[in-house]
Amino acid sequence: MFLTIRKMFDLLSKREKIQLYVQFVALVSMAFVEMAGIASILPFMAVVANPGVIRTNRWLKHAYDFFQFSSLQSFLFFLGIVVLGLMVFSNLFKALTTWLTLRYDNRLNYNLARRLLAAYLARPYEFFLNRNTAEMGKNVLSEARTVIAGILSPGMQLLSSSLLCIFIMAFLMVVDPFVAVAIIVVLGGSYGAIYLVVRRRLVRIGREQVEANTMKFKAASEALSGIKDLKILGRERVFLDRFAVHALRHARQNATVGVISQLPRYALETIAFGGILLIVIYSLESEKDVGKIVPLLSIYAFAGYRLMPALQQIFASISAVRVSLPTLDILHQDMCESPLSTDPDVAVVDAQSLKPLPFTQKLVLKSISFRYAGAQEPAVKGISLTISPNTSIGLVGATGSGKTTTVDIILGLLSPTHGQLLVDGSEVSGDIVANWQRNLGYVPQHIYLCDDTITRNIAFGVPEEDIDMEAVIRAARVANLNDFIEQELPNGFETVIGERGVRLSGGQRQRIGIARALYRDPVVLIMDEATSALDGITEEAVMDALRTLSGEKTIIMIAHRLTTVKDCDIIYHMEHGHIVNQGSYDELLGSSAWFQAAARTGT
C-alpha cells in the first residue's frame, strides 16, 4: 500500500500534492459533519419517545431553559429543525466536497495525459524504434484516466469512507460498546475475509485488463491504418475477429471486477438487517422501557444507513485500486523511471525559439559506428566523411547497406555508439542537437500527411497565425506541385487531403513532403529516396528545381536510381555499413563494378 502511495505521489506535481492535502482536510471535515448529523438523531428521538427526558437529561434541560421554551411541542419542533439543518448542511458540504473532487480529478487527468505525452515526445528517436505507437496512444488516451479513476479517486473515497466509519463506530462505542464491537466484528470481518480471498485475483485481472486493452487498441489501429490492403485482400473479418477477441476479454474482466466489487453488498445488507433484529431482541431483553429502546434503535438504523454504503465503498475502492496497480506501474515507469534528466514538459522545447547551429566550414562524421538495440552487428561501422557547405552529396548502395542509418545520425535522430558528429568543430550531441536540426530540411521515404489542408501539411506543425503563405507557395513551386494545386484542386491550397493523404497519388504525397522540407528554407536538405515514387518527367522537373539550389544549399541524397545522384559533387558507395568507394558519377562509373552494373540496370 505504501509503495502504491509513493508511486502515485511521484506522478503528481507540487501544486497537485497541495491540492490533494486540501481535499484530505475537506474529507475529514465531511466525515465529522456526517457523524454530527447522525448524533443529532439521538436527542430528537429520545424526546419523541419519552418527553419526560427533558427534565431528567441535564443537556436537554439546559437547552430547554436556555432558549426559554414554554411547551414541549415548540422544543420538539426546535430539535427537529436542528436535526434537519445538520442534515442539509451535511449534504451541502458533501456536494461541495464532491464538486472539488471531480474538478481535481478531471484536471489531473488532463495534466497526467499531457505530461505522459510530453515524456514520450521528449524521448530520443531510438526509443520509438522499440515501442508500439498504438500502445503509447492507449496509455495517453486511456490509461492516464484509469490511474485517476482506478487509483486516486478510489483512494480518496477509501479515505473518506474509512474516516466516516471510524467516527460512526466511535460514536456507537460511546452509546453501546457491546453492539459497536459486534458490528465491527461481523461487518468489518466479513468484508475483510472476502477481500483476503479475492485480492490476488484482482491483481491478476488488472494485468489481463492492461494486456487486453493494449491488444484491442493495436488491433483497431492496424485495421484502420491498413484499410486499403485489407479491402484488396478481403481480410476485414480477420482483423475484426482479432479485435473482438481482445475487446470481449477486456469486457469480461471488467464485468468480473464489477461483480467482485458489488456482490458482498447484498449478502451483508441481509446480515445488517438481521443484526438490527438481534439488537431489538437484545434491547428488549436487557431493557423493558420502550422509551429508551426507540432512540437507540433510531441511532442504529440511521448509523447502519450511513455505515453500510461506507463499508461497501471501502471494499469497492480497495478492489479498484488492486485492479489498477498494473496500470499505475506502466505510467510510473514511462514518466518517472525514464532516463530524462529534466521535467519532460521542459524537455519538449519550442524549436522555433532556438538559434540554428552555425554551419560555414564543414560537417564531419568522424569514425562513426552505430548498433541498434538488440542487433548483433552494427548498422554502420567506422564511417568517416567530410561535407562542405553548399555541396551536393549522394549515398548509394544495396538495401541494408547503412545509408538511412547514416542519414539519421546526420539528422541528429540517432546518437553514435562510437565516434562523433561535428559541425564547424562543435560536437552535435545533447542540447546542441535541436540547434543543429534548425538547419535541416528532411524528406523521408514514407511521407506522413495529416487529415488537413495542403497549406497546413506543407507548413507542418506551424501555428495557423504564423504560416507564411509566400513560403508555402515558393516551396510548392520548387516541388513542382504548384500547378497541380492551383489548377486541379477545387479549393487550391485549402483543399483537405484526407488522413495520410489518402486522396492523393504516391507522387503527389511525395512532392508535398519535398515542399514541407523546403518550407523553412533549410541550410541542409536531406532526401531519403525522396523521388522514388515520382514518374520520370516529374522527377526530372523536381531535380531541375533542386539543381537551381545547387551551390546555395547543402544537399544530401539517398537514391537507388543513379540518375538521381548523377549531378552530385561526391557520391559515396556503401556496403554492409562501410563506405567502400567515393567520387563523382563519372569517376565511380569508371572504377566501380557495382556502380557500372547499377548504371546498366538503371538502379
In this prediction, residue 135 carries a pLDDT of 86
- The proportion of the chain whose per-residue pLDDT surpasses 70, expressed as a percent, equals 85
Reported as a single tens digit per residue, the pLDDT across 228-242 is: 677 777 888 888 888
Distances (CA, A) of 385 to 365, 505, 587: 5, 37, 18
pLDDT tens-digit readout, 120-138: 888 888 888 888 888 888 8
- Flag whether pLDDT at 580 surpasses 60: yes
Q: Average pLDDT for residues 87-103, to the nearest whole number?
A: 84
Top-ranked range on mean pLDDT: pick from 280-284, 303-307, 311-315:
311-315
CATH of domain 2-335: 1.20.1560.10
Per the model's pLDDT, the better-predicted residue between 95 and 167 turns out to be 95
pLDDT tens column, 349-359: 666 678 888 99
Q: What is residue 510's predicted lDDT score, i.e. its pLDDT?
A: 83
Please name the helix (run of DSSP H) or strand (run of DSSP E) that holds residue 387, with its range, or none. strand 380-387
**Please, which contacts does 147-150 make with residues 24 or more away whose CB atoms are closer than 8 Å?**
147/8, 147/11, 147/112, 147/324, 147/327, 147/328, 147/331, 148/105, 148/108, 148/109, 148/112, 149/105, 149/320, 149/324, 150/320, 150/321, 150/323, 150/324, 150/327
User: What's the per-residue H, E or C state across 153-170?
Assistant: HHHHHHHHHHHHHHHHHH
pLDDT for position 304: 63
82, three cell numbers: 436542528
Among 93-97, 100-104, 295-299, where is mean pLDDT lowest? 295-299
For the chain, give the mean pLDDT.
Answer: 81
Question: Poorest-confidence range of 96-110, 433-447, 525-539?
Answer: 525-539
Q: Specify the pairing of strand 426-427 against strand 418-423.
A: antiparallel
| Average pLDDT, integer, range 220-227 | 80
Residue 504's alpha-carbon distances to 274, 445, 485, 489, in angstroms, are 73, 16, 11, 11
Query: How confident is residue 348, by pLDDT bands cut at 50, 70 and 90?
Result: low
pLDDT digits (tens, 9 = 90+) for 590-600: 888 888 888 87
281 versus 202: which is more confidently predicted?
202
Provide the pLDDT for residue 524.
93
Any idea what DSSP says for residue 461? T
342 versus 158: the higher-pLDDT residue is 158
Is 8 within 8 Å of 151 (Cβ atoms)?
A: yes
- Asked whether residue 319 carries a pLDDT value surpassing 80, the answer given is yes
Please give, one letter per residue, the 3-state secondary structure of 200-243. HHHHHHHHHHHHHHHHHHHHHHHHHHCHHHHHHHCCHHHHHHHH
Q: How confident is the model at residue 9 (pLDDT cuts 50, 70, 90)?
A: confident
pLDDT of residue 80: 77
Distance of CA 440 to the CA centre of its chain: 30
Contact 427, 421 (CB under 8 A): yes
Q: Where does 438-497 have alpha helices with state H? A: 454-458, 469-478, 482-488
Place of cell 539550389: 549
Q: Which residue has the cell 560536437?
A: 427
pLDDT-based confidence at residue 161 (cuts at 50, 70, 90):
confident
Range scoring the smallest mean pLDDT among 39-48, 293-302, 313-322, 500-509: 293-302
Element (DSSP H or E) covering residue 408: helix 403-410
Query: Does residue 76 register a pLDDT over 80?
Result: no
Q: Which residue has better confidence, 21 or 58?
A: 21
Q: How far is CA 501 from CA 70, 368, 512, in A?
A: 86, 36, 10
pLDDT tens-place string over residues 403-420:
999 999 999 999 999 999
Alpha carbons 248 and 500: distance in angstroms, whole number: 30
Residue 450 dihedral angles phi and psi, to the nearest 5° = -100, 165
Between 387 and 430, the more confident residue is 387
Q: Are 389 and 554 in contact (CB under 8 A)?
A: yes
Helix pair angle (41-49, 14-39), 10° resolution: 10
Contact 321, 151 (CB under 8 A): yes
Domain ranges of the chain: 2-335
Is the confidence at residue 152, as pLDDT, over 80?
A: yes
Per residue in 46-71, pLDDT (tens digit) is 666 666 666 667 777 777 777 777 77
Q: Who has greater pLDDT, 51 or 144?
A: 144
Considering only residues 425 and 163, tell me which one the structure prediction assigns the higher pLDDT. Answer: 425
- The grid coordinates listed for 446 are 514514407
Is residue 287 over pLDDT 60?
no
Spatial contact of 424 and 400, defined as CB atoms under 8 Å apart: no
8, amino acid identity: M
Q: For the chain, first and last CA: distance in Å?
A: 63
Residue 262's pLDDT is: 75
DSSP string, 9-73: HHTS-HHHHHHHHHHHHHHHHHHHHHHHHHHTHHHHHHHHH-TTHHHH-HHHHHHHHHTT--SHH
Mean pLDDT of the region 204-212: 86
Lowest mean pLDDT among 90-104, 164-178, 337-351: 337-351
Check residue 362 and give its pLDDT: 92
pLDDT-based confidence at residue 422 (cuts at 50, 70, 90): very high
